[in-house]
Amino acid sequence: MKKLLILLLGLLITSTNFNVEAQSKRKRKKEEKKEQVKAETAKKKNGKIKSYTDVITEDAVTDLGIFKVHQLDDKYYFEIPFDMLSKDMLLVSRLSKLPSNLGGGYVNAGSKTSTRLINWVRFKDKVLIKEKSYSAIAADSLPINVSVNANNYEPTLYAFDIKAFSKDSSAVVIDVSSFYGSDVKAISGLSASNRRRYKVKNLDKSRSFISAMNSYPKNIEVVQDFTFNASEPPINNGNETISIQTNQSMILLPEEPMQPRYFDERVGWFTLSKYDYGSEELKADRKTYIRRWKLVPKDIEAYKRGELVEPVKPIIYYLDPATPTKFRSYMKEGIELWQKAFEAAGFKNAIIAKDPPTKEEDPEFSPEDIRYSVVRYVASTTRNATGPSVADPRTGEIIESDIIWYHNHLRSYRNRYLLETGAANPKARTLNTPDEEIGEMMKMVIAHEVGHTLGLPHNMSASYAYDVENYRSGSFTQENGIAATIMDYARYNYIAQPGDTGIRFIRQLGPYDDYAINYGYRYIPEVTSPDDEKSILNSWITEKVGDPTYKFGKQSSRFDPTSQTEDIGNNSIKASTYGLSNLKIVAQNLKNWTSDKTDNYEDLEELYGEMLGVWSRYVGHVITHIGGVIEESKTPSQSGFVYQPQDKSYQKSAVQWLQKNAFETPEWLLDETIIQNINYAGYTERIRRLQSRHLNSVLGFERLGRLIDHNAINSENYSAYNLLKDIRLGIWKESSLGRSVDVYRRNIQRVYLDQMKYLMTQDLDPNRSRQYFNVNQSDIRALVRAELNQLKRTLIAASKTAINAETKFHYLDCIERINSILDPK
């Protein structure tokens, strides 16, 4: 009886679904018929709507595709079938040509300026472009859907007069010339900030035009050439002009949306979120999905058996025709490095790299065409690479992506290769890095950016998975690289020391990449909804709990010492000590490796400046441990805390390390054969700025606030009192030891006093601080006042026995500064 009831229920559900689908089809047919009747009526009654042949004459040039596109002289028309109305489409705007330095150098050909989900909608004798939002949803069958629609009314981007109907009354004809030929802010290539920055006045219509419009089976591509009048253009040659070329892509989204997959913060993914008002929860249920390509096995049965199967539609990247020939093989190899990670998800040949097709092979190929994912090669002095993508806002399905490679990017990698590995790596001790080394770097940079376009964000905990000493092992680094993922900012092995052999110095893909790709792309044939997958996805994560190789660390964290950018190894003090040991060797040889070879100081000056930056990074990695909080995403079923303060003894060691390596005068950075050949002055100020940045960071409101919190929950934790005392004793140690104070130390001691004044008089900005608290009513003012009074007593005594005049006058000045802080009146 029970089985019979289940069978009847199944038949009822199937019948209901079939009836709903049939009703939906009948409804669509009815609506199309209704539109045709309206069209015929309008033809007879409305003189504004002309006959088809009066609008689309024999002179029209017609392009067939998703819509018919007609061109008559400088006029462009869309012929939109009624069955395409109300269908979901993406309107993607991007720059295809632009002036040098637009946006400060970080905007380039291929940059996306906007993405909008749209519908074409008939309203009386007009057709509207309505911008649609999927941030708030509810099933059409639920009563609350009415309220969701009423409270999320879709804006109208543009309204078009109907010019004609097709001969069979199945489509509407509109003139899109004004929409694509005028300055419509919603799809403009110039952002509001750039308009303000360059004082853009208006679009010069006499110098602006639509240069191309093409229709394809699933998309329409429009190229606009626009010239703006601007008082302060990025290239100011006196003509007060900004000319840009933009590409507008309108793409039809899949009729059957991809099944989305839930995001879990324990695995890193780019995401999209929406509020489901139809949820059974007693609130609007926030649902977050990952962004990923749709991969379906060609042979699902073979896939189920565990065989590697090709996807129905692989991910294909084309190289930009502008890519130098000598770099193409490296780029393609970098893209296809991800094939191994996709094998972990059961797919083979899931991602493929191709050279740009010739005109004969594909006459329609264009890097701006949204049907093609392209590695864009940009002629720019910017040193960077990026991996943006376009995704279906309904489900997170990635539709297309473009990797942006800036021409000068490899110079940054050459410089850091020399500075960070030159002490232990003979191949790096040159301005002419060997081709095979440059190629390996390029492969890994491209692989990193491909990771972004696959949906993966940075994972800054991946390098913390490896013990510092393992970086000195040739066998370990050759097998494991320098981080558990290519998605960490762990570029080079700066820990390996001179004499270490067989070392891998350049990053590579790792086990976390396989793990993350499996989470996002493993096809689960037996499930029919995101909720059905939850337990399976959770089981994959819980298998790896406790293994640091599979931990995800957010890039946005400013407090977690295990999730830092540009660091490697699980002990920042040891890693930075090794790094500085190497950097001192590089400093001794920098002149020999640069100016002695080139017979000019240009590269020496550039590399010296970047060497100061490397030193600063190593210092910053140690600072994060002070007031640091280790974050580990957990579910309530997992043991332990999500947030755990850094160990007290490690924090004290970090302060001691900083006193020695950051705040004492870095004599090794002051080589006169370098600094007196690259600048005539400014040596003390350059060091002061670097030290000031780090001391102010250590003595910052947010860090002190965290230490107050930590000590409140456990009095054994390192406290704000401990930090202020330890910093004072180190910064002012000469006053207690009766030593003279050199100019660099005098500078940093004044920095200390300025920062203490800041702590006494300023407050946190709630709009800019991530950790806001009431400073005036906290312990901070009391602690700072006590420290300044103690320091004043010390300096009064020290000034009486100062070794030289500079030191004595410095102490007397500092006493007056303290007095003005404690008693401003």
Residues 6+ apart with CB under 8 A from 726: 652, 655, 656
Distance between CA atoms of residues 471 and 477, nearest Å: 6
Q: So what's the pLDDT on residue 153? A: 59
CA-closest candidate to residue 341, choices 581, 220, 549, 521? 521
Mean pLDDT of the chain: 89
Quick count: other Cβ atoms within 10 Å of Cβ 63?
14
Distance between CA atoms of residues 461 and 556, nearest Å: 12
Quick count: other Cβ atoms within 10 Å of Cβ 95?
21
Are the beta carbons of 279 and 132 closer than 8 angstroms? no
Q: So what's the pLDDT on residue 381? A: 67
Q: So what's the pLDDT on residue 334? A: 96
Q: How confident is the model at residue 101 (pLDDT cuts 50, 70, 90)?
A: confident
Assign 3-class secondary structure to 701-760.
HHHHHHHHHHHHHCCCCCCHHHHHHHHHHHHCHHHHHCCCCCHHHHHHHHHHHHHHHHHH
Q: How confident is the model at residue 75 (pLDDT cuts 50, 70, 90)?
A: very high
Q: So what's the pLDDT on residue 105? A: 66
Radius of gyration, alpha carbons of the chain: 32
Structure letter (DSSP) for residue 663:
I
Distance between CA atoms of residues 626 and 645, nearest Å: 10
Q: Long-range contacts: 137-144, Cβ < 8 Å, 24+?
A: 137/274, 137/275, 137/276, 137/277, 137/278, 138/276, 138/277, 138/278, 139/278, 142/278, 144/277, 144/278
Distance between CA atoms of residues 464 and 562, nearest Å: 6
What percentage of the chain has pLDDT greater than the value 90?
Answer: 73
pLDDT tens-digit series, residues 504-550: 999 999 999 999 999 999 999 989 999 999 999 999 999 999 999 99
Q: So what's the pLDDT on residue 274? A: 78
CA-closest candidate to residue 115, choices 389, 316, 454? 389
Q: So what's the pLDDT on residue 7? A: 41
Q: So what's the pLDDT on residue 405? A: 81
CA-closest candidate to residue 578, choices 494, 666, 665? 494
Which tokens sit at 195?
């308009």
Q: So what's the pLDDT on residue 19? A: 43
pLDDT tens-digit series, residues 293-337: 999 999 999 999 999 999 999 999 999 888 889 889 999 999 999
Which tokens sit at 695?
């001391």
Tell me the C-alpha to C-alpha distance, in Å, between residue 336 and each of 333, 397, 443: 5, 21, 10
Are the beta carbons of 549 and 275 closer than 8 angstroms? no
Burial status of residue 584 (CB atoms within 10 A of its CB: 0-12, 13-18, 19 or more): middle
H-assigned helices in 363-510: 409-421, 435-453, 474-480
Quick count: other Cβ atoms within 10 Å of Cβ 626?
27
Distance between CA atoms of residues 302 and 305, nearest Å: 5
3-state SS of the chain: helix, strand, coil percent to 5?
45, 20, 40
Q: How confident is the model at residue 8 (pLDDT cuts 50, 70, 90)?
A: very low
Q: So what's the pLDDT on residue 147? A: 54
What percentage of the chain has pLDDT greater than the value 70?
Answer: 89
Which tokens sit at 527?
């499930």
pLDDT tens-digit series, residues 686-734: 999 999 999 999 999 999 999 999 999 999 999 999 999 999 999 999 9
More confident residue, 409 or 577: 577
Comparing 18-27, 92-101, 142-151, 444-453, the range with the smallest average pLDDT is: 18-27
Q: So what's the pLDDT on residue 365? A: 84
| Average pLDDT, integer, range 30-56 | 68
Q: How confident is the model at residue 136 (pLDDT cuts 50, 70, 90)?
A: low
Comparing 1-15, 108-122, 193-207, 243-257, the range with the smallest average pLDDT is: 1-15
| Residue 331 exposure: Cα atoms within 13 Å on the Cβ side | 25
Burial 777-816 (b: 16+ CB within 10 A, else e): ebbbeebbeebbeebbebbeebbeebeeeebbebbeebbe
Q: Is the pLDDT of residue 127 over 60?
A: yes
Residues 6+ apart with CB under 8 A from 520: 261, 267, 269, 290, 292, 345, 454, 455
Q: Which of 547-556, 567-576, 677-686 has the highest average model confidence (pLDDT)? A: 567-576
Residues 6+ apart with CB under 8 A from 344: 514, 515, 517, 518
Tell me the C-alpha to C-alpha distance, in Å, between residue 424 and each of 428, 496, 500: 9, 6, 7
Structure letter (DSSP) for residue 570:
S
Q: So what's the pLDDT on residue 17? A: 41
| Average pLDDT, integer, range 803-822 | 96
Q: Is 270 left (phi over 0), alpha (psi -120 to 50) or beta?
A: beta
Amino acid at 66: I
Q: Is the pLDDT of residue 287 over 80?
A: yes
> Could you give the dihedral angle defined by the CA atoms of residues 143, 149, 151 and 154, in that order, rounded to the nearest 10 degrees?
180
pLDDT tens-digit series, residues 212-243: 999 988 899 999 999 999 998 887 777 889 99
pLDDT tens-digit series, residues 750-789: 999 999 999 999 998 888 888 888 999 999 999 999 999 9
pLDDT tens-digit series, residues 570-627: 999 999 999 999 999 999 999 999 999 999 999 999 999 999 999 999 999 999 999 9
Q: How confident is the model at residue 106 (pLDDT cuts 50, 70, 90)?
A: low
The number of residues in the chain equals 825
